[in-house]
Chain A
Amino acid sequence: MPPKKATNHKPPVRQSRKRQSPSDPYEIPEEDDNQAPKRRRLAKPDPENEQEPTNDAAVSTPSASRLKKTVATPIKLNGLNGVDTPSRKNNADRSARRKSARALVDRVISGAISDDEAEDGDIAREIYESSEDEEDDDEEENQNGETEPTTPSKSAPGRKRKATTSTRARKRSPTPPRDLPPHEQYFYQNKPGLSKTSNNTLSSLQLLTHDEYFSLLRDLAPKNPHKPDISHLQSLHATSFPQWAFELSQGFSTCLYGYGSKRHLLHQFATYLSSNPPCSPTQTNKIVIVNGYTPSFTTRELLSVLSSAISSPPCTSLPPLLSYLSSRPKTTLTVLLNSITSPPLRKSPFQSLLSTLASHPQVYFCCTSDTPDFGLLWDSAQSTSFQFLFHDCTTFAPFSPSELEVVDSVHELLGRKTRRAGGKEGVAFVLRSLPENAKSLFRLLVGEVLCADGGDQQGAAAEEEEVAVEYRMVYNRAVEEFICSSEMAFRTLLKEFHDHQIITSHKDALGTELLSLPFRKEELEGILEELTT
């Protein structure tokens, strides 16, 4: 077995290398000890050992002789003396590990747990995992023991293990070094092998539904202990309004950034601007507040709002709008944009449109940014035409539901199904606007899915897997029931469902097209009930 053979030689060689350069500032012992042997074993077998795969003479190769030299150092003697202890400790570790594994399994089977049980479980897991990465070393050691019980190389891993147990314990501690600069922290945390997380899942926790979220939030919101502080902070920002208006009047645009919703602040600013416009007294100022966070926001909408604000004929592109504005020097336009970094606005054409708009002398532009990455959004030409002045407006104000879809966002993050259409009611709402045969098709689809679900129920597994039905089969049924006569018509109907995200389709490994509904079983039953009555 060539790969195993390689491991017999590698660790001591590595050690010798290490001893040669003890002052290497970037050497991190625990990392090296855990990872290097594994990787080397997998990546490329030593050519030396390839040539003589099973030969014991490998010991006499140059690498082996180097090995002997290294183990003759005083450190090695320590290893020999202490060789008993680690092995005994290993046995203890291993049995503790076995016990903790059993505890974990028991816990998973029994399902729900109380709080102090969870603590026990955590300890068990810690034991289980801390021994997990020692396992590799154990295996290594075992092999050494089996093949060459009396060679000095055996003692080397033993010694190493003893030396590294303390450092490993340090690594296990939950807090990594905290005063690292961000880039160092990035590399520290992205080290392979460090990304060990527990196998806990949220399965025991019942996730929030929209209804529950909002009803609880309604009770919670008035109880927020920081409420007076937040409004005080906001009033502090409000004292800058004259300054911002002055900056706008001087041809700059302003961008407000920082943590918290700035919608209310911007609204207040708009109120301020309506009584203290940044333009000269002879001009009339129109104020437009644009909510960039709306997920379906388009340039077309923006243009139609702007053109109605300055009462110009509707425009489909910006240049005619701006030339219309130029031809009326008595009118100025103030555009206040919420969330310039929201996903629909991030596209380059949108930003270049905004920058062209902002650079017009009769347009005053102020925007807010909720993400810290706005600097990457603009190229140099765009930033020149924006002429941004940035202000730190940390408000700590909670985002309103229209700005942030909390429940959907979290469920998407967790990879759970998001109910975009808004559950049962949403489906009913969508279907109401569709023709009769679309309703029949959906009813058919729900029925089929429920049938399939009932057919192959396999306990917990069925809940995880989405139940899907074959496209072809549904089509045949639809034709049978005179819902549609051609595949074309069938596709058209399905597309409507797709558009409202009340149906999903994918292909399985064989290439069969499958249709499924992104709802829970109870919901499906409810929908079916509603459709049949």
Chain B
Amino acid sequence: MSTGGEEGEGGGEQVLVGGRGGRKFLDYDLEALRVALEGKGKGGRRVIVAFQDSEAFDTGLVGELVGLFHSWQDRIQFSVLFGIATSVELFQARLLKSTARQLYGAQFDVVQANAVLESVIMTAVAGSDAKLRIGPGLLRKLVGRQQEHVAGVGAFVSSLKYAYMNHFYANPLSVLLADPDRLKSETLQSEHLEAVRMLESFKPLVELAVEEGQLDHAQKLLEEDDYLRSYIMDQGPKRQKYLDRLLQSLSLITTTGLAKRPFIELYEAALEEGISLDQSPGPFDIGDAIKRSSPEELLALVARMKETIDMGNDSLHWDGIDDVDEAEYAIAKFMRVEYDVRELLEKSKAKGDSLKSKYSSQSKVLRTTVVAQKVQLSRDTATLTEEDNAFTEAIDIFFTVFKRIVGCEPLSNLFLHEVWQYDYHLPYEDVFVPRPGGTLARALSRPHDYLGCACCDQANGSLAGTLPATSILYHLYSEAGALINVADLWAAYYTHVGEDSEIGMDERSALVLFYRGLAELRAMGFVKQSKKKADHIAKLKWL
């Protein structure tokens, strides 16, 4: 109960007890808070009391607190902040009218969790500042957990942190992620090079070199440490180039506003499959949408493109196309298109026609005519005016340029991508989404998996006398019904370990282990006492 109000005051009062002039205040005296505020000077300071989960809060208490704050309003400036999950109307309906009258409020809408998540991902995962790329598989898991389990953004952030920790912990190759100017080639020991030669991306690199006939290059990569060392050192700029290209493509695609999927999915797809506008259907098949756009839409699109190429994308920390030549070429072409389209628009307006391209207009029209009570179908090609053809040409030019500046290959095609991509979801799942029930069931049903002992090897998940007592009992437990007779359980247990079995344990010793197993099952919450019958226990867990 002591969230919100009380705690806020607690901080001030602690300092003050026995404060000025030897006056002592009781813990709950707001006078203490007032003196503390005045003592800190300036005046006009506000005290903000936040109620995190106002629905769960006792309504009567809220009412009294508001009344109390109101009566102190002339001495202490109170602001009250309510977190409301339902609606303001419902919240107000719960309060007394007199209480509601004492509140003067404004409504602040909380940003949707998805929007927060997207901006976090844009900055911390996709953005150019992120050294380590979180792979598409892991990213999908992380986002999935956010959406399915309603975990807060905090959970996402710590998962991200853990991914970084995993990548850098005991990973010698992570040294290659250091800044290019700080990474000296001497830092790379021969063990590093050996590790690099073991990487999965090394093999395709050499194979490609052989295919292209650069046999010398391939041989040197394989054999000469110094050659490989300098080759690795050259990868830093290449990585940067790839990243720029990736962000450039993504930014431009999102700028068009034509992609049907949210940014996170586009990013995942881009890492996994690369970006190709030709692939259809695919996440990036926006070509048709661009071609179908009307002259006005095209003009707006061109304007947005020019701005993005120039200014970049703030949330991705990408500041426009780096390559000056390419940027100038693209902007020049776009301006040309813009100029042409404006001219064509005016021309067609003067003629009283509407401007259309061969993509947007239905080029073939089906005509139905009724002749002598029979329907005749005839195809008719809609004629395109001269202006229309020119506009079509402009669209084609725009699209060609767009295709030139948008597109990249999948991340896994790059040499050394293992060094700067982390895409293992198993450690993450083990650590953040544990399955204690399954773990326990496995440990108890197949102890050999953990113990690796010679004696239980034969059991292979079934019941055997050599298993630990709790494990035997668990096997019997899972065979039993909802109600278990302990006498029968004991009898069954004893047939497995007793004097007639291979184990040959005497009754009292077996009973000791039986006791222990039963007590452990109980401690783990598998069974409880049942009053239905004498010496019976009830089953509580189905794992």
Contact = CB atoms under 8 A, between A and B. Distances in A.
Given A229-B451, A230-B451, A392-B434, A195 B523 contact: no
Contacts of B468: 226, 396
A409 interface: yes
Contact of B154 (A118, A212, A375, A384): A384
A258 B520 contact: no
B166 to A, nearest CB: 10
Contact of B491 (A118, A319, A412): A118
A73 B472 CA distance: 51
Contacts of A372: 436-437, 439-440, 524-525, 541, 543
A282 interface: no
Nearest to A213: B512
Contacts of A384: 152, 154-155
Interface stretch (A31-39, A50-58, A90-98, A182-190): A182-190
A259 B444 contact: yes
B452 A216 contact: no
Interface residues of A, number: 76
Interface string B489-528: 0110000000010000000110111011011101111011
A243 interface: yes
Contact of B488 (A200, A258, A260, A415): A200
Contacts of B470: 259
Given A198-B485, A216-B509, A390-B430, A175 B479 contact: yes
Nearest to A247: B165
Interface in A378-396: 380-381, 383-384, 387, 389-392, 394, 396
B329 interface: no
Given A229-B453, A392-B434, A190 B518 contact: no
A275 interface: no
B519 to A, nearest CB: 4
A178 B463 CA distance: 13
A115 B501 CA distance: 13
A215 to B, nearest CB: 9
Contacts of A112: none
A320 interface: yes
Contacts of A370: 523-524
B542 A183 contact: yes
Contact of A202 (B450, B487, B528): B487
Contacts of A176: 479, 481
Contact of A197 (B151, B481, B520): B481
A232 B466 contact: no
Given A197-B483, A396-B450, A414-B486, A205 B511 contact: yes
Contact of A406 (B152, B516, B539): B516
B452 A246 contact: no
Nearest to B539: A189
Interface string A443-482: 0000000000000000000000000000000000000000
Interface string A195-224: 111111110010010001100110110000
A220 B513 contact: yes
A374 interface: yes
Contacts of B511: 205, 208
B483 A396 contact: no
A232 B512 CA distance: 25
Interface in B128-171: 150-152, 154-155, 158, 161-162, 165, 169
A285 interface: no
A75 interface: no
A307 interface: no
B102 interface: no
A174 interface: yes
Interface in B36-58: 52
A483 B10 CA distance: 51
A243 B165 CA distance: 10
Given A189-B481, A390-B432, A220 B154 contact: no
Interface string A401-428: 0001111011011110000000000000
Interface of A: 115, 118, 174-176, 178, 182-183, 185-186, 189-190, 194-202, 205, 208, 212-213, 216-217, 219-220, 225-226, 229-230, 232-233, 243, 246-247, 250, 252, 257-260, 319-320, 369-375, 380-381, 383-384, 387, 389-392, 394, 396, 398-399, 404-407, 409-410, 412-415
Interface of B: 10, 14, 52, 150-152, 154-155, 158, 161-162, 165, 169, 430-432, 434, 436-437, 439-440, 443-444, 447, 450-453, 455, 466, 468, 470, 478-479, 481-488, 490-491, 500, 508-509, 511-513, 515-516, 518-520, 522-525, 527-529, 531, 533-537, 539, 541-543
Question: Nearest 7 CB-CB pairs, A to B?
Answer: A372-B436, A390-B434, A200-B487, A229-B451, A182-B542, A259-B443, A409-B519
14 contacts: A186-B542, A195-B481, A202-B535, A205-B511, A208-B511, A226-B451, A229-B453, A250-B165, A257-B436, A320-B14, A373-B436, A398-B516, A410-B518, A414-B529
